[in-house]
Homo-oligomer: A and B are copies of this chain.
Amino acid sequence: STSLQVLFFPDKDVACREHFLTGNGCMKVNCRFSHNKTSLSELYRHMLDCQKTMDVCVYIITCKDLADILSRLFRRGVKIRIISDSEQLRSSGSQIWSLRKEGIPVRTNPSSYLMHHKFVVIDEKVLINGSFNWTAQAITGNQENVIITDDDAVSSLFVAEFQRLWEEFDPS
């Protein structure tokens, strides 16, 4: 059976990274972040469940906290690939440069049209897709949605779309 989850943003409170990432919980007295489930903490959970591969195809990636999850997974041995928008790469706050410096391969669209997708495929199975760019304002400001599904009929199409773009955007 397939699982399906819908997340809406903005979150009222910011999920505590310490609480949701370490697995040990957060020891801070009067921590100002949320220890309750939020849309962001659910995103964290799905991303941290990744075992082997994560294909990220997201228009804008400026949120350091989400980029940091990629770094953690990469250091853990997860094979990560990123497709993002070439124009947004040049915007201030883009996390793409530091991710690239760590060794994560990144490809971008050569045209002036937008690489406007906002989807992630985890282990070629779980699709995260919606209106949600990886920005701070998408988490606690904007009205956004994310659908998460492991329905093969859907995710396989996004696996193929990622691969198609990955090859199309090969700079070599």
Kindly specify which of A74-82, A93-101, A142-150 makes contact with the partner chain. A142-150
Kindly specify which of A4-12, A24-32, A34-42, A62-70 makes contact with the partner chain. A4-12
- Note all chain B residues with C-beta closer than 8 A to A165: 143
User: How many interface residues does A have (CB within 8 Å)?
Assistant: 33
State the number of copies, please: 2
Given contacts A6-B157, A8-B161, contact A144 B117 (CB under 8 A): yes
Q: A116 to B129, Cβ gap below 8 A?
A: no
Most B Cβ at <10 Å: residue of A114, A132, A165: A114
Map CB proximity to B onto A93-127 as digits: 1 under 8 Å, 0 otherwise.
00000000000000001010111111100000000
Given contacts A119-B145, A129-B130, A130-B130, contact A154 B4 (CB under 8 A): yes
> Which residues does A use to contact B, with CB under 8 Å?
4, 6, 8, 10, 59, 109, 111, 113-119, 129-132, 137-138, 141-145, 147, 151, 153-154, 157-158, 161, 165
